[in-house]
Structure 1
Amino acid sequence: MTAEDFKSQGNQAFSAGQFEEAIKFFSQAIELDGNNHVLYSNRSASYASLKNYEAALKDAEKTVEIKPDWPRGYSRKGAALHGLGDLEQAAEVYKAGLQVDPNNAPLKKALDEVEAAMGDGGANPFGDIFGPAGLAKIMSNPKVASIIAQPDVMMKIQDIQRNPQNMNLYMKDPRIMTLMMAAMGLDATVATNPEDAAAAANAAANDTAYTPPAPRSESPKRQQTPSTRAPEPEPESLTDEEKEKKQKRTESDKEKDLGNQLYKKRDFPGALSHYDQAFEIDQTNIAVLTNKAAAQFEAGDYDASIKTCEEAVEAGREIRADYKIIAKAFGRIGNCYMKKDDLLNAIRFYEKSLTEHRTPDILTKLKEAEKLKAVREKEAYRNPQLADEAREKGNVEFKNSNWPEAVKHYTEAIKRNDADPRNFSNRAACYIKLLALPEAEKDCDAAIALDVNFVKAYIRKAAILLAKREYMKSIDMCNEAKEKDVDGKHTAEIDQQIYKAYEGLNQVQSGGNREETLKRAMEDPEVQRIMADPVMQSILKQMQEDPRAAQDHMKNPAVAAKIRTLINAGIIQTR
């Protein structure tokens, strides 16, 4: 965005009463154009609206410095000084401005108000209220002892003593107002805010009665008396060029709204007609193009929608449009390519959209496109015939004890056909040889999931469990393999595996010191959990007293699994 764009947004925020937002926009404009006197003038007005007269004065002084022959700068500076209570200096500034433009009506009016305030004693109607007599009354009042003891309060009193006119600088400090009332002999608790305190003090200074105000509701803007009110700031008038831009945008938005209404009714030709008119009126209104692209998308004209979005991006880049609009255009291009079944381009433009502005909607669409692309690539690569060829190559390498090379061929076979359990089972055999047991077990589970009757996968998983010294689980897996081996083709291989498992189990139960075996077993977290279970403790006690009870408990699958774990660890002996 340009400095003029930020200035325009600042003026709009000011007109809406959003002074803090206006300051942000004017500050951004100043960063781009630090010698534009109008920007400092408008920011000064915004600060003054927030009663931040110090900042308003600083910007006003910068305005005069840049453009000393511009009357509005003196008006800003005088208003800031007026707000700070420095009426004499404000009057001098207004007079300096009138030397530049003797017929300037706002400067004349402001000078009259300041001089009227000074004539009424507006600079300080309370004279030497903090003189010796006033301080004596304050010191004798116990209600304000804690206030007068504060160092910054005494500094303010001393400043007022040096220059009574500076009283105006501290009128908003309730502590000063409370001390003023105490100095006049008034009840220091009569008022609860600076305005009421000032009214009470003013009444006392003029020897009139003070009547506390009735309860009132808080108002965001308190009214000041005409004699002391600083002029209300206004933003700098729009230039003819800015007025023309604003008028164009208003007319363009009207056409866009008409298009939106027809879009909702799914009258896409009618909507497109209004969108075209809207963009013809104001070619900086990029939102019109993204709306037009949406209508073309809904009408099924995806190529036209892509072209319109590309135009929106190009035009948006030129005027430094909001990145969210650019992101929306890229996202819509991605949607069009999804409809055209062009996943590569869809992913590319979704990623571009997320680079501009990250939104959950586009992120979800990107993930869906990437997932669909992966599935398509996998399906395109599938070829059962080539999978069989790769598996045969793997078998050759396996027989030659070249396990790593065999794994590569089996992996290729899986990529070509992941529905054949033999590919997973054969790769598991290689992993067992390479002692990559977790990978081997995962492949066995995959083979069994594809074919629950694939006996070889059960046998190989039993071998893995044996290697992990989980003897009882290995035996259980062999028993499952026997159930699946209905024609008895693998009986000898299964029996051999069972024999190895029992042999390993016997070595655990008979080898070494019994205490050492128990100690080693109890280091296993799973064994610890089983032994700590009160129900298992009761079962084990019952089995010890009556060994025949074990047969009944083994009928419960959960209990049987725990008993097998204890047998495998050597806690329970089977002999």
Structure 2
Amino acid sequence: MIHQKKMSAEEFKAQGNQAAKEGRLADAIDCYTKAINIDGSNHVYYSNRANIYHQLEDYDAAVADAEKCIELKPSFGKGFLRKADALAAMGKREEAVEVLRDGIESCGNTEPLLSQRLSSLEAGAGGFGGAPGAGDPGAFMRNMFNAEGMAKIRANPKTAKYLADDPSLEQKLTLVASNPQMMMQVAGADPRLMECMLVAMGIDPDMMKDMPPAPGAPSFDAKPANPEPPAPKEPEKVLTPEEIEANKLKDEGNDLFKEKKYAEAIEKYEAAFAKHKSILFLNNISTALLKMEKITEAEEKAMEAYNYGRDNPGTATFEELGKALTKAASAQYARKDYEKAIKTLKSAMLEHRSKQTLALLTKVEDEWELIKKQNAYSPEKAERAKNEGNELFKAGKYQEAVDKYTEGLKALPLDPEREYRDDNEKFTANKTLLTSLLNNRANAYFKLGQMNLSYDDADHIVSLIKDTTNTKALLRKGQIERLRRQYYKAVETYKKVLEHEKYNNQEALEGYRKTTEKIQELQRNPDSKEAKEVTEIAMADEEIQKIASDPGLAEVIKQISTNPQAAQQYLSDPNISSRIEKLINAGIIRTGQ
């Protein structure tokens, strides 16, 4: 049988990179998604997919992937850049600025583009038409290639491909932004620059192709297009003098915040709020107080922000309300008030479901569960509950016994996936007690007729605790497998007991004898209703399905049936003989004996 090599996540990433370079953006998304499905813990895959979503103008998806990238690796600056660029492209400049500020704080100097993007975004706050210094060609050019302009360039499939194919193009854009006098010289040598400039201004370059070029202007050779007329833009909000002054004070506060001068930043935010009431300024104050480790004050200010937004409809977005509650929860978490923090975060999610809030909620809930488990840990209580359960079992009070054994297991709150290890002292010290509680509860469940629960407890001992020779658990498993008519399983389970006990266990001997006799009876009567039902039960088992559908084994069985010499050779291989025996015991292969 030919086995195809499975591609690794890194191979899918490489394919995605190549597809992006060739402009096959949908294929790139597919490749990065496959890489994520294999390894969802790699931040780079989310960063790359965010970039492609941005180029496809699916900004919400770009933001979501960027947030996941930040969650996985908060020190990776590109995650913050991806999110800020997407927000800027959506016109959410204030949020983009806040993301870049968070990125600078999280990454330090490891990603210099964060500071550069923040400076250009703050410099271009007024847009192109009415920006300060709009009459100054230098200021106009700097504003054109600020974060918002670059976001538009990266979002346009044509100009995005230019940047992907030739990294030097972005350097030329930076050169022109810094030296506007070189614009015509550089654009004359590289017409792509003019296309980037038009895209940054919000103009489709293809619209310019039907117009006669100005003397000396670079021309475009592409075919003319007939785009639909652009939708009319909404008029920009005219700020009051108070709002302008408040924003100026807020920006000064932001600069102080970046310098970690939190007390001075708070003064600026408070002055901004005095000039113009906004939840944004109150949220900023709460953030600064958290940085100063003034936990109670930070919580109070965050709740003040939330209540202000709620009491004054129209003054705050759902996202801002959610942020206020998240900041309050961060303060509650900082003082270890887990239950209150969880409640507040759930309320924040109702206001606005953000990835950051969800990540914090998951973190707080996980820590709280761990603390509750640590507080519940008591081997003495577990031992006491086991003894009380045993007395109830003897009195025939099986449900009450189950409750006591369950109480004992809760006093040994060990996670099978993470804590069932020989280097874990709690596990090794309580392995015998844990096994005893599970065996006793399996017995009580069996008395109550709850076979599945009984089987699960017995299997827990063998499979998870890895006490593979535990006679009580194996006998319970074998007994239930016989009742389920899974004879192919029961015969192997009883065999394990016999091998371990050196064939000196009467219950295992009796169970093995009855099981093998039943298998032989069904083989002699393959057309009986019971034989067919037993085969159907076996075929519902994934392990049996896998063995039965193996074409290599089918070929071996065919050769064995026609060539006795081949039979001896194949059946001497334990791997082959054990699988064939399992199919016989399951009734899939009929021997007629």
Cα distance in 2 for residues equivalent to 1:538 and 1:218? 63
TM-score (norm 2): 0.51
403, 425, 435: which one aligns with 1:421: 435
Kindly provide the CA deviation profile for residues 276-302 of structure 1, in whole angstroms up to 9, marking residues without a partner as x: 2222222x1221110111111112111
Name the CA shift for 1:522/1:470 in 2 (closer, same or farther; >3 Å).
Answer: closer
Which amino acid in 2 is paired with 1:502? T
Which amino acid in 1 is paired with 2:264? G
Name the CA shift for 1:528/1:313 in 2 (closer, same or farther; >3 Å).
Answer: closer
Q: Does 1:274 align with 2:274?
A: no
Preserved contact between residue 567 and residue 574 of structure 1 (Cα < 8 Å)? no
Q: Does 1:395 align with 2:390?
A: yes
Cα distance in 2 for residues equivalent to 1:248 and 1:292? 19
Q: Does 1:540 align with 2:583?
A: no
Tell me what 2:378 maps to: 383
Tell me what 2:458 maps to: 444
For residue 359 of structure 1, report the CA deviation from its aligned partner. Answer: 1.4
Which amino acid in 1 is paired with 2:285? K
For residue 252 of structure 1, report the CA deviation from its aligned partner. Answer: 1.0
Higher gyration radius (CA): 1
For residue 533 of structure 1, report the CA deviation from its aligned partner. Answer: 4.8
Preserved contact between residue 354 and residue 363 of structure 1 (Cα < 8 Å)? yes
Preserved contact between residue 521 and residue 570 of structure 1 (Cα < 8 Å)? no
Name the CA shift for 1:294/1:484 in 2 (closer, same or farther; >3 Å).
Answer: farther
Gaps of 5+ in 1: 1-214, 222-234
For residue 543 of structure 1, report the CA deviation from its aligned partner. Answer: 3.9
Cα distance in 2 for residues equivalent to 1:550 and 1:404? 54
Kindly provide the CA deviation profile for residues 26-45 of structure 1, in whole angstroms up to 9, marking residues without a partner as x: xxxxxxxxxxxxxxxxxxxx
Tell me what 1:372 maps to: 367
Kindly provide the CA deviation profile for residues 39-70 of structure 1, in whole angstroms up to 9, marking residues without a partner as x: xxxxxxxxxxxxxxxxxxxxxxxxxxxxxxxx
Q: Equivalent residue of 1:417, what SS? A: coil
Kindly provide the CA deviation profile for residues 315-360 of structure 1, in whole angstroms up to 9, marking residues without a partner as x: 2233222232222111101011111111011012112212222212
Q: Equivalent residue of 1:351, what SS? A: helix
Tell me what 1:353 maps to: 348
Name the CA shift for 1:509/1:479 in 2 (closer, same or farther; >3 Å).
Answer: same
Cα distance in 1 for residues equivalent to 2:489 and 2:456? 16
Cα distance in 2 for residues equivalent to 1:332 and 1:431? 48
Gaps of 5+ in 2: 1-223, 414-426, 428-433
476, 479, 485: which one aligns with 1:469: 485
Which amino acid in 1 is paired with 2:465? L
Name the CA shift for 1:570/1:290 in 2 (closer, same or farther; >3 Å).
Answer: closer
Kindly provide the CA deviation profile for residues 336-393 of structure 1, in whole angstroms up to 9, marking residues without a partner as x: 1111111011012112212222212212222332232223223222221121222222
Choose 517-526 or 365-374, whichever is displaced more: 517-526
For residue 563 of structure 1, report the CA deviation from its aligned partner. Answer: 2.8
Q: Does 1:305 align with 2:298?
A: yes
Kindly provide the CA deviation profile for residues 520-552 of structure 1, in whole angstroms up to 9, marking residues without a partner as x: 565453577755654344333444453993684
Tell me what 1:189 maps to: none
Cα distance in 1 for residues equivalent to 2:450 and 2:252? 68
Q: How does 1:98-497 map to 2 (within 5 A)?
A: 246-282=240-276, 284-320=277-313, 321-322=315-316, 323-418=318-413, 420-448=434-462, 449-452=464-467, 453-485=469-501, 491-497=505-511
Preserved contact between residue 255 and residue 278 of structure 1 (Cα < 8 Å)? yes
Preserved contact between residue 455 and residue 481 of structure 1 (Cα < 8 Å)? yes
Name the CA shift for 1:285/1:393 in 2 (closer, same or farther; >3 Å).
Answer: same
Cα distance in 1 for residues equivalent to 2:569 and 2:227? 85
Cα distance in 2 for residues equivalent to 1:389 and 1:219? 79
Name the CA shift for 1:287/1:570 in 2 (closer, same or farther; >3 Å).
Answer: closer
Aligned residues: 338
Cα distance in 1 for residues equivalent to 2:587 and 2:518? 11
Name the CA shift for 1:393/1:500 in 2 (closer, same or farther; >3 Å).
Answer: farther
For residue 274 of structure 1, report the CA deviation from its aligned partner. Answer: 1.5
Cα distance in 2 for residues equivalent to 1:374 and 1:558? 46
Which amino acid in 1 is paired with 2:300? K
Kindly provide the CA deviation profile for residues 113-134 of structure 1, in whole angstroms up to 9, marking residues without a partner as x: xxxxxxxxxxxxxxxxxxxxxx
Cα distance in 2 for residues equivalent to 1:513 and 1:355? 61
Cα distance in 2 for residues equivalent to 1:377 and 1:490? 45
Preserved contact between residue 421 and residue 447 of structure 1 (Cα < 8 Å)? yes
Cα distance in 1 for residues equivalent to 2:268 and 2:504? 78
Cα distance in 2 for residues equivalent to 1:497 and 1:346? 55
Preserved contact between residue 279 and residue 309 of structure 2 (Cα < 8 Å)? yes
Cα distance in 1 for residues equivalent to 2:265 and 2:298? 14
Q: Equivalent residue of 1:300, what SS? A: coil
Cα distance in 1 for residues equivalent to 2:343 and 2:528? 66
Identity of aligned residues (%): 24
Preserved contact between residue 535 and residue 586 of structure 2 (Cα < 8 Å)? no
Which amino acid in 2 is paired with 1:266? K
Tell me what 1:39 maps to: none
Cα distance in 2 for residues equivalent to 1:406 and 1:554? 49
Q: Equivalent residue of 1:374, what SS? A: helix
Tell me what 1:569 maps to: 587
Name the CA shift for 1:466/1:557 in 2 (closer, same or farther; >3 Å).
Answer: farther
TM-score (norm 1): 0.52
Name the CA shift for 1:430/1:551 in 2 (closer, same or farther; >3 Å).
Answer: farther
Cα distance in 1 for residues equivalent to 2:240 and 2:327? 28
For residue 258 of structure 1, report the CA deviation from its aligned partner. Answer: 0.8
Cα distance in 2 for residues equivalent to 1:554 and 1:405? 52
Kindly provide the CA deviation profile for residues 297-318 of structure 1, in whole angstroms up to 9, marking residues without a partner as x: 1121111111211221232233
Tell me what 1:185 maps to: none
Q: Equivalent residue of 2:240, what SS? A: helix
Cα distance in 1 for residues equivalent to 2:569 and 2:527? 25
Cα distance in 2 for residues equivalent to 1:518 and 1:493? 25
Q: Equivalent residue of 2:336, what SS? A: coil
Which amino acid in 2 is paired with 1:540? I
Preserved contact between residue 479 and residue 490 of structure 2 (Cα < 8 Å)? yes
Preserved contact between residue 384 and residue 417 of structure 1 (Cα < 8 Å)? yes
Q: Equivalent residue of 1:344, what SS? A: helix
Kindly provide the CA deviation profile for residues 146-173 of structure 1, in whole angstroms up to 9, marking residues without a partner as x: xxxxxxxxxxxxxxxxxxxxxxxxxxxx
Kindly provide the CA deviation profile for residues 64-122 of structure 1, in whole angstroms up to 9, marking residues without a partner as x: xxxxxxxxxxxxxxxxxxxxxxxxxxxxxxxxxxxxxxxxxxxxxxxxxxxxxxxxxxx
Preserved contact between residue 559 and residue 566 of structure 2 (Cα < 8 Å)? no
Tell me what 1:505 maps to: 519
Cα distance in 2 for residues equivalent to 1:269 and 1:520? 77
Name the CA shift for 1:513/1:297 in 2 (closer, same or farther; >3 Å).
Answer: closer
For residue 482 of structure 1, report the CA deviation from its aligned partner. Answer: 4.2
- CA-based RMSD of the aligned residues comes to 3.6
Cα distance in 2 for residues equivalent to 1:374 and 1:552? 53
